[in-house]
């Protein structure tokens, strides 16, 4: 288990907010040139309406952490997402977003699959996660938790060994929300 604390040096500004890279694979992957297998990030959207960047050849999972988000996939469908609800879509689609939000993003190539699971835990609650033989991550949105005996809190990003056959034990110290990200 490796904890990646929030790193402000990985935050970049874009036209309508900021984006913070939590993890990219391979480690020398380049977001700007779209040269990566997968990338996990958070972002702020500070404009009421914006057009999402073109990620042709990649798939996106997007979910708001704070605020309500409307995604308009031109010629396809429109979806309204409350916090922790998600949409998975083709990165080449012409997509507009409506709503000032903080969001969580997973972008991955065609040789990869990903899923994001939301877990809300109350104080004193415990949970075991059993994911093996894949990339396995947890993002702490809010709250305080003990993960495999180590305390973590808001904005911590945890990476687990891919060959680890042991379950991940989570104990909630202060109620909050976690996102579990599994990439194969």
77: containing domain: 2-109
Structural Rg of the chain based on CA atoms: 16
Is 160 found in the same domain as 77? no
In tens digits, the chain (184 residues) has pLDDT values of 899 988 877 888 877 889 899 999 999 988 888 899 999 999 999 999 999 999 999 999 999 999 999 999 999 999 999 999 999 999 999 999 999 999 999 999 999 999 999 999 999 999 998 866 689 999 999 999 999 999 999 999 999 877 666 789 999 999 999 999 999 9
Q: Which two tokens stand for residue 93?
A: 């689609």
Is 145 found in the same domain as 81? no
Domain at 130, CATH number = 2.60.120.10
Is 173 found in the same domain as 140? yes
Is 127 found in the same domain as 74? no
Q: CA torsion angle for 131, 137, 139, 144 (degrees, to 10)? A: 60
> CB–CB of 3/157 below 8 Å?
yes
CA 140 to mean position of chain CA atoms: 10
Residue closest to 118 by CA, chosen among 46, 8, 21, 127: 127
Is 34 found in the same domain as 6? yes
What pTM was estimated for this model as a whole? Answer: 0.93
The count of domains in the chain is: 2
Residue closest to 21 by CA, chosen among 71, 182, 1, 36: 36
Residue with the two structure tokens 């972008």: 107
Instruction: Please give the Cα distance from 48 to 100 (Å, whole number).
Output: 5
């Amino acid at each position: 288990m490796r904890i990646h604390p929030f790193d402000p040096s990985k935050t970049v500004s874009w036209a309508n907010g900021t984006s913070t890279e939590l993890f990219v694979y391979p480690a020398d992957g380049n977001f700007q040139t779209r040269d990566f297998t997968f990338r996990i990030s958070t972002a702020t959207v500070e404009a009421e309406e914006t057009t999402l960047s073109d990620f042709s050849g990649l798939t996106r999972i997007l979910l708001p952490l704070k605020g309500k988000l409307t995604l308009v996939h031109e010629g396809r469908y429109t979806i309204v997402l409350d916090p922790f609800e998600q949409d998975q879509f083709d990165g080449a689609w012409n997509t507009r977003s409506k709503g000032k939000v903080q969001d969580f993003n997973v972008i991955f190539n065609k040789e990869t699959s990903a899923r994001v699971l939301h877990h809300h835990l109350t104080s004193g609650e415990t949970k075991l996660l059993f994911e093996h033989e894949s990339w396995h991550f947890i993002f702490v949105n809010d709250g305080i938790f003990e993960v495999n005996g180590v305390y973590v809190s808001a904005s911590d990003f945890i990476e687990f060994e891919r060959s680890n056959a042991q379950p991940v034990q989570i104990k909630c110290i202060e109620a909050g929300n976690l996102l579990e990200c599994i990439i194969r």
